[in-house]
């Protein structure tokens, strides 16, 4: 089974704007935590496109193992 690549063992805390984001699910993007198209090399994973509904701080998963993508659900603590 192909595993997603853990980028860091903690979430990315960002100041979210009201707009659409593409969260990197494969871990290969050089623009973490966002997609830069690198997933197309392997075609095993696709980015998670999500609409951020309100401005404010959001925690996006950096370990890529969350059960609630694109958000951190604390899974990184058990890796
Ligand atoms: S950084 Fe992945 S679950 Fe927290």
Q: Which domains does the chain carry?
A: 12-78 (3.40.5.90)
- In 3D space, the residue among 78, 62, 36 whose CA is nearest the CA of residue 70 turns out to be 62
User: Which ligand 1 atom sits nearest the alpha carbon of residue 11?
Assistant: 1
Question: Where does residue 64 fall: left (phi above 0), alpha (psi -120 to 50 degrees), or beta otherwise?
Answer: left
pLDDT in tens, the chain (79 residues): 456 888 899 999 999 999 999 999 999 999 999 999 999 987 788 999 999 999 999 999 999 999 999 999 999 999 8
pTM of the model: 0.90
Task: Say how many C-beta atoms besides its own lie within 10 A of residue 10's C-beta.
Answer: 13
Cβ of residue 33 lying under 6 Å from some atom of ligand 1: no
User: Which ligand 1 atom sits nearest the alpha carbon of residue 66?
Assistant: 3
Cβ of residue 72 lying under 6 Å from some atom of ligand 1: yes
Cβ of residue 61 lying under 6 Å from some atom of ligand 1: yes
């Amino acid at each position: 089974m192909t595993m997603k690549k853990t980028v860091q063992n903690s979430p990315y805390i960002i100041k979210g704007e009201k707009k659409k984001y593409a969260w990197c699910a494969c871990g290969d993007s050089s623009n973490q935590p966002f997609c830069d198209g690198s997933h197309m090399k392997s075609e095993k994973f696709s980015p998670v496109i999500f609409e951020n509904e309100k401005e404010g701080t959001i925690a996006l998963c950096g370990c890529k193992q969350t059960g609630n993508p694109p958000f951190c659900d604390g899974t990184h603590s058990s890796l």
